């Protein structure tokens, strides 16, 4: 076999701390290596052309590139060797950047390790064989999980592109956090006026199937062919029959049900429609507060309903859906401010969250848009806003910036003045982070035109005094302590990952970070892809974002889905397990250990044997290390290939030990 | 070990001087609640405020000596009524979890310290070991009608990783104990606010401002009296109340009890052991209001 080795400088990324010329020189001495050189940027056009030329000139059978991570450029170089006429699996990559040059500064040690990695790759390559992908057909339907603004955008774009879309939302109505907002920054336009029509489009689009009050129960399959079980939670109302007339909500005697839509700043009836623009506009019963469901007495709604839609006996119902791609747009949750004991931690009635304040400002909110203190219903005069509650604070485990709080606080300060011209707003802030288009101008308007007093510093404590609250903090620009007398305090709570996000990630088999936010495939170049093919991200499930960015990402993920579905057939990855039928004794251990359910038992001439379902196998290799017979082998990572790597490494160590 | 509670007792220097009534009432209620106290033999100063500003090793050694003395007793732990002593003992113990530091401390000591005994305040002992329910069971004269502002001071629960007791922003141990006595506990917002501490000597104006604010807040929540857990806080609020009044022009007249005195009173202990007469602002006014409320309730 004739192998070519190309050692990449990666500018100074690798060459800075690895002697690449020596690595190439040593590579020439390795068995089967017919050609070796170092190259400035192997991934560049001249770099790739150089590889192709060398393959042709030296009649090479395989290529090793020693450069960056395979995640970055393995597909690039595979295409390169393919262009030169080789099978693309006759290629190996040695990672001498992330595994060598970026982790140590000792050139001698780095060079030695780089040589080791190259020799391992070359030894493995000797045992490589050409693999051919198989193709399979694609189910051109898409599921969008989460009905906030990002999910709505993704669903509409996919549907307008001609795809059949299934939208799943866990609450009774779509709209998400945006539907709760009174106005949006920096335009101060009505949130529900711009979102409402999009919500209606979802309801009326012929290509969209909408499941609200529903959650993902189970996901099977792979890109192109996912089988998903959706659990439709009991609403105790037949939504086919319900017309959303609202008679039941007027007559329901249980009026203390939690008002989730209004952030529990008000109460609602046990049977309710979350808000006037809800899509679908159907009633749902809160089982915890319904008198009929808790103690069997009442049933007023059942008697009054003109369409006889009430179903107290209704149960959760599973629905099966088959799709080819999934867009995850599950959004975020707000930080629980009660963790800040010094701010009153939920003890003081007039210390509220920013979202609660948003509901007080909203004309469709519990006070009809009149700002009233929860404690006594009086209109506040001095309103103090505290930023970074659950953002940029390591002590509560939220070191990251939530990004949008500076902006919504400025908006709320402006709206406060609009609602109550006699009022005075104060904002305690750490820095103003307003990098978007017209954003900085907007925060300046809050200060300059609306007279909001911005105080740079953290608040150490809030305590009630009489019917007011004393807000004590530092003014770090003045270098002094300040106390502000407030009638109402609004905590600008930060964002955190949606509850249950890690559990959903495990069902989707995508990665998430230590805070529960979903991880994109590449932070810069693959911002809406995940590492699981066919699963895309949109909106705040990936990290806090404002509305424009969420919408942009919703469209981006829709574009990705449309591009994926532009092909009728997809190629499967041939790096999967394969059973040597002669060696297999049918013990079934591989079937038990496979986390993807990709191995089945078949009858082969009266004997039980294992069989790999190619499209489900993810190539993880657990089965190969389980098989007592060595009968199941992961293609491209066979026992022989891995042993070849180990041997070449150990031989050197063995020789050293005898010297 | 038997189920009874036996603890090494560290009175601290104020316990034998300025806060004698805290010490005697603590001993009295512990006896009444079945907690046996063994005074640490030959205890020395904990280092108080000055030592740790000079040298952490020396400061820890001062407290470590007392811990070592207690280790020779057959006890379940060390308790002290004074939050300042508690801070020094716990900080020393916390630092000595680092073996290298412990070695440095042991070099300064006659006999090495093991650092295994749990250390807690009397308040923590009553709340966690004795239990609020047991205290409630023993009440013979409930404090019904007495509205109290519970004041913990700034160091009883801070820093949380060292003190490891109750909530550092909104502690509730004393609130619960007082409620168990039948008292009406006001939602006092400044439970852990600074009273001015030892600035009473150097800068009376600072204490007048800070303690004055506490007194204002207690009046604002319509408390009849303060209930405190710290000798220094008690002194600033009680002894210096007239100073506060003359410096700020206020007219405060609010008794400031130790929580141990009030527990003793509710348990029906004799006046001598509770030493109510040692308080500067006479407590009679608060008790009169309590009795009035009880009579109004009865009729």
Q: Are A176 and A331 in contact (CB under 8 A)?
A: yes
Interface mutation target, options B159, B168, B169, B219, chain A, most CBs of A under 10 Å: B169
Is the bond leading into B159 cis (omega within 30 degrees of zero)? yes
B142 and B84 both lie in a single domain: no
Taking residues A484-501, report their average pLDDT: 97
In the three-class reduction of DSSP (H, G, I as helix; E, B as strand; rest coil), residue A579 is classed as strand
Fold (topology level) of A335-496? FAD/NAD(P)-binding domain (3.50.50)
Domain ranges, ordered by start, for chain A: 3-131+640-658, 141-233+316-331+498-564, 247-304, 335-496, 577-634
Residue B34 lies in a domain: yes
- CATH classification of the domain holding B86: 1.20.1050.140
- With a pLDDT cut of 90, the percent of chain B lying above it is 91
Nearest-by-CA chain A residue for B222:
A466
Taking residues A566-589, report their average pLDDT: 94
Residue B244 lies in a domain: yes
Tell me which residue has tokens 């190619």. Answer: A614
Q: Which of B121, B150, B180 is the last residue of a domain?
A: B121
The answer for B 180-199 residues in CB contact with A (under 8 A) is: 187, 189-190, 193
B79 and B178 both lie in a single domain: no
| pLDDT given for residue B49 in this prediction | 83
Q: What is the pTM of this model?
A: 0.86
Put simply, whether B268 touches A (Cβ < 8 Å) is no
Put simply, whether B216 touches A (Cβ < 8 Å) is yes
pLDDT value at B3 more than 70: no
Q: Which of A345, A464, A465 sits opposite B170 (nearest CB)?
A: A345
- With a pLDDT cut of 70, the percent of chain B lying above it is 99
Residue B298 lies in a domain: no
The CB-side HSE value for A32 (13 A sphere, CA atoms) comes to 19
| pLDDT given for residue B298 in this prediction | 87
Instruction: List, for residues B48-78, the tens digit of each pLDDT value.
Output: 888 888 999 999 999 999 999 999 999 999 9
CATH-assigned architecture of domain A577-634: 2-Layer Sandwich (3.30)
Parent domain of B86:
5-121
DSSP B65: H
Distance from CA of B250 to the nearest CA of A (A): 17
Instruction: List, for residues A70-122, the tens digit of each pLDDT value.
Output: 988 999 999 999 999 999 999 999 999 999 999 999 999 999 999 999 999 99
Residues of A in contact with B170 (CB under 8 A): 341, 345, 347
Tokens representing A595 are 């986390």
B170 and B231 both lie in a single domain: yes
Instruction: List, for residues B109-149, the tens digit of each pLDDT value.
Output: 999 999 999 999 999 999 999 999 999 999 999 999 999 99
Tokens representing B120 are 């807690």
Q: Which of B169, B187, B217 sits opposite A341 (nearest CB)?
A: B169
Taking residues B223-235, report their average pLDDT: 96
B279 and B153 both lie in a single domain: yes
Instruction: List, for residues A147-194, the tens digit of each pLDDT value.
Output: 999 999 999 999 999 999 999 999 999 999 999 999 999 999 999 999
Tell me which residue has tokens 């909500």. Answer: A249
Residue B148 lies in a domain: yes
Tokens representing B154 are 């700034």
How far is Cα B61 from Cα B47, in angstroms, rounded to an integer?
9
pLDDT value at A208 more than 60: yes
**What count of other Cβ atoms lies within 10 Å of the Cβ of residue B297?**
9
Task: Decide yes or no: CATH 3.50.50.60 for domain A141-233+316-331+498-564.
Answer: yes
Q: Which of B168, B187, B217 sits opposite A465 (nearest CB)?
A: B217
How far is Cα A635 from Cα A35, in angstroms, rounded to an integer?
26
* Count of structural domains within chain B: 2
Burial class of residue B118 in the structure, from the number of CB atoms within 10 Å of its CB (0-12 exposed, 13-18 middle, 19+ buried): middle
Instruction: List, for residues A527-551, the tens digit of each pLDDT value.
Output: 999 988 999 999 999 999 999 999 9
How far is Cα A161 from Cα A616, in angstroms, rounded to an integer?
28
Instruction: List, for residues B276-286, the tens digit of each pLDDT value.
Output: 999 999 999 99
Residue B131 lies in a domain: no
Q: What is the CATH number of domain A3-131+640-658?
A: 3.40.50
Q: Which of B121, B144, B163 is the last residue of a domain?
A: B121
Arithmetic mean of pLDDT over chain A: 95
Q: Which of B169, B189, B193 sits opposite A464 (nearest CB)?
A: B189
pLDDT value at A448 more than 50: yes
Put simply, whether B32 touches A (Cβ < 8 Å) is no
How far is Cα B240 from Cα B252, in angstroms, rounded to an integer?
11
How far is Cα A407 from Cα A571, in angstroms, rounded to an integer?
46
Residue B106 lies in a domain: yes
């Amino acid at each position: 076999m004739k192998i070519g080795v190309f050692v990449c400088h990666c500018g100074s990324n690798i060459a800075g701390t690895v002697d690449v010329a020596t690595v190439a020189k040593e590579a020439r001495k390795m068995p089967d290596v017919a050609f070796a050189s170092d190259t400035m940027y192997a991934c560049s056009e001249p770099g790739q052309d150089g590889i192709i030329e060398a393959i042709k000139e030296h009649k090479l059978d395989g290529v090793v590139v020693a450069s960056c991570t395979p995640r970055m450029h393995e597909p690039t170089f595979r295409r390169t060797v393919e262009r030169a006429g080789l099978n693309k699996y006759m290629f190996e990559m040695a990672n001498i950047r992330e595994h060598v040059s970026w982790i140590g500064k000792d050139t001698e040690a780095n060079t030695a390790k780089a040589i080791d990695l190259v020799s391992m790759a070359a030894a493995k390559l000797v045992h490589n064989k050409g693999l051919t992908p198989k193709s399979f057909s694609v189910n051109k339907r898409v599921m969008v999980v989460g009905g906030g603004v990002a999910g709505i955008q993704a669903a509409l774009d996919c549907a307008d592109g001609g795809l059949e879309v299934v939208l799943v939302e866990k609450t009774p109505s779509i709209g998400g956090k945006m539907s709760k907002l009174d106005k949006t920054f920096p335009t101060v336009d009505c949130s529900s006026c711009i979102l409402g029509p999009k919500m209606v489009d979802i309801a009326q689009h012929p290509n969209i199937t909408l499941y609200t009050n529903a959650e993902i129960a189970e996901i099977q399959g792979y890109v192109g062919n996912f089988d998903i079980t959706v659990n439709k939670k009991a609403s105790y109302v037949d939504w086919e029959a319900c017309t959303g007339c609202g008679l039941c909500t007027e007559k329901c005697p249980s009026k203390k049900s939690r008002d989730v839509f209004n952030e529990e700043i008000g109460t609602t009836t046990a049977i309710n429609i979350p808000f006037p623009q809800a899509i679908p506009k159907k009633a749902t019963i809160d089982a915890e507060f319904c008198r009929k469901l808790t103690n069997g007495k009442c049933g007023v709604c059942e008697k009054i309903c003109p369409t006889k839609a009430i179903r107290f006996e209704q149960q959760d119902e599973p629905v099966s859906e088959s799709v080819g791609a999934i867009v995850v747009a599950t959004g975020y949750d707000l930080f629980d401010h009660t963790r800040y004991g010094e701010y009153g931690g939920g003890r003081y009635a007039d210390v509220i969250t920013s979202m609660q304040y948003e509901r007080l400002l909203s004309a469709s909110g519990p006070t009809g848009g009149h700002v009233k203190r929860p404690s006594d219903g009086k209109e506040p005069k001095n309103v103090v806003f505290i930023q970074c509650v659950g953002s940029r604070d390591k002590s509560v485990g939220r070191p990251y910036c939530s990004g949008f709080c500076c902006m919504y606080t400025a908006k709320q300060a402006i709206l406060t003045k609009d609602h109550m011209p006699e009022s005075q707003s104060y904002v305690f802030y750490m820095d103003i982070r307003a990098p978007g288009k017209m954003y900085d101008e907007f925060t300046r308007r809050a200060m300059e035109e609306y007279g909001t007093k911005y105080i740079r510093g953290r608040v150490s404590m809030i305590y009630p005094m009489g019917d007011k609250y004393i807000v004590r903090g530092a003014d770090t620009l003045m270098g002094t302590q300040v106390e502000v007398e407030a009638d109402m305090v609004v905590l600008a709570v930060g964002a955190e990952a949606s509850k249950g996000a890690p559990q959903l990630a495990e069902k989707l088999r995508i990665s998430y970070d230590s805070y529960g936010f979903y991880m994109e495939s590449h932070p810069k170049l693959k911002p809406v892809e995940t590492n699981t093919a066919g699963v895309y991200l949109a909106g705040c499930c990936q990290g806090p974002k404002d509305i424009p960015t969420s919408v942009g990402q919703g469209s981006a993920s829709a574009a990705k889905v449309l591009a994926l579905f532009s092909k009728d057939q997809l190629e499967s990855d041939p790096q999967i397990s394969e059973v040597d039928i002669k060696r297999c004794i049918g013990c079934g251990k591989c079937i038990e250990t496979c986390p993807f359910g990709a191995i089945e038992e078949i009858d082969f001439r009266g004997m039980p044997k294992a069989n790999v379902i190619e499209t489900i196998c993810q190539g993880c290799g657990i089965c190969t290390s389980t098989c007592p017979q060595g009968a199941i082998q992961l293609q491209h990572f066979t026992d022989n290939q891995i042993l070849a790597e180990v041997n070449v490494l150990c031989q050197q160590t063995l020789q050293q030990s005898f010297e | 070990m038997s189920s009874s509670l036996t603890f090494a007792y560290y009175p601290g220097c104020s316990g034998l001087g300025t806060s004698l009534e805290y010490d005697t009432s603590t001993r009295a209620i512990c006896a009444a609640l079945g907690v046996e106290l063994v005074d640490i033999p030959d205890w020395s100063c904990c280092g108080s405020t000055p030592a740790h500003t000079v040298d952490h090793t020396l400061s820890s050694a001062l407290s470590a000596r007392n811990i070592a003395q207690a280790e020779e007793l057959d006890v379940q732990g060390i308790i002290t009524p004074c939050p300042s002593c508690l801070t020094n003992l716990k900080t020393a113990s916390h630092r000595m979890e680092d073996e290298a530091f412990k070695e440095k401390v042991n070099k300064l000591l006659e006999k090495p310290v093991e650092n295994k005994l749990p250390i807690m305040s009397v308040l923590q002992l009553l709340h966690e070991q004795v239990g609020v329910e047991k205290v409630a069971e023993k009440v013979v004269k409930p404090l019904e009608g007495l509205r109290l502002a519970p004041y913990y001071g700034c160091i009883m629960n801070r820093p949380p990783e060292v003190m490891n007791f109750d909530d550092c922003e909104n502690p509730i141990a004393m609130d619960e104990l007082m409620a168990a006595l039948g008292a009406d506990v006001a939602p006092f917002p400044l439970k852990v606010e600074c009273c001015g501490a030892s600035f009473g000597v150097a800068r009376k104006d600072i204490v007048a401002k800070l303690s004055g604010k506490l007194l204002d807040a207690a009046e604002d929540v319509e408390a009849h009296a303060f209930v405190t857990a710290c000798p220094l806080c008690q002194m600033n609020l009680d002894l210096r109340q007239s100073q506060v009044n003359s410096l700020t022009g206020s007219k405060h007249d609010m008794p400031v009890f130790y929580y141990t005195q009030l527990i003793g009173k509710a348990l029906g202990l004799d006046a001598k052991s509770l030493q109510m007469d040692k308080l500067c602002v006479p407590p009679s006014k608060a008790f009169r209001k309590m009795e009035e409320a009880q009579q109004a309730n009865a009729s």
